Amino acid sequence: MATLAQRGASAEGTRFYLIMSCAMALVIIAGFSVNLAMGRSSFALPPAFHLHGVIFMGWLGLYLAQVVTIVTDNRALHRQLGRLAYVWIPAMVAAGVMIILVSVRGTGGPFFFAQNEFLISNMAGLLVFGGLALWALKARRYTGWHRRLMLVAMSVLTGPGIGRLLPMPLLIPNAWTIAVTASFVFPVIGMLADWRTRGRVHPAYWWGMGINAGGFLASMVLAWSPLGHAMTAWVVAGTPGAARPMAAFLPPGFAM
């Protein structure tokens, strides 16, 4: 009976992470789909954007497959896909850094974000994702740590999806902060679920969110420091991105 009860509790926890992974994936896909449907973006973009899209959507598929293999108790395939993640996570960080630089140098980045925030805090978020995701892989033998750290890591990636669903121009000058902090909702839901079912929050969430929120705060301090301004100006110097103001702004004649 004790064994059956333990399996039941494990299955319930697994279903929770399946629901959370699907919710995060839906937010990411919805954000990009809405942008495409409204004509804010198109497939007529330079190859760098397509490479970035393939790598990021590939990771989304890999993450969902990992959750599904656990739900279906296909642990052999789960372990095989886990080995692929060791390669995919660094590729994600590299592709993310590439597209941030392409965007900020090519167009100055989204006008509703301050250029220094978009460059520095964005890169910091990628490093937080990569670090937490690799930590989750290293802790794979400890299920409680593994699944919670990976949930926090994945929540970082929901920021761009959330940003595409919110009216960013109306949120200037706080658009970046709002988009990032909104992504914290997924780990917070996980923490509340822990509190409800376990009577306490697992330390993986405290560590994961401490690193996530701490990394964000540190990146914002750097972005708005004289060094952050100088770094941003150096990155865009001599490119079309240098033509826009560093602060968030509304282009002349802009209308929602």
Return per-residue pLDDT of the chain as tens, 256 residues: 333 333 333 434 688 999 999 999 999 999 888 777 666 665 667 788 888 889 999 999 999 999 999 888 888 888 888 899 999 999 999 999 999 999 999 999 999 999 999 999 999 999 999 999 999 999 989 999 999 999 999 999 999 999 999 999 999 999 999 999 999 999 999 999 999 999 999 999 999 999 999 999 999 999 999 999 999 999 999 999 999 999 999 988 776 6
Q: Is residue 242 a part of any domain in this protein?
A: no
Q: Is residue 102 a part of any domain in this protein?
A: yes
Size (the chain), residues: 256
d(CA 52, CA 92): 8
Q: Is residue 3 a part of any domain in this protein?
A: no
Q: Is residue 101 a part of any domain in this protein?
A: yes
d(CA 236, CA 120): 13
Question: Where do we find the tokens 């376990």?
Answer: 198
Query: pTM for this structure?
Result: 0.89
Q: Is residue 124 a part of any domain in this protein?
A: yes
Q: What total of structural domains would you count in the chain?
A: 1
Q: Is residue 246 a part of any domain in this protein?
A: no
Among residues 221, 50, 66, 49, the alpha carbon closest in space to that of 153 is found at 66
Q: Is residue 188 a part of any domain in this protein?
A: yes
d(CA 208, CA 155): 11
- Give the domain extent around 29: 10-237
- Residue 113's φ and ψ, nearest 5 degrees, are -110, 140
Residue 233 exposure: Cα atoms within 13 Å on the Cβ side: 8
Q: Is residue 253 a part of any domain in this protein?
A: no
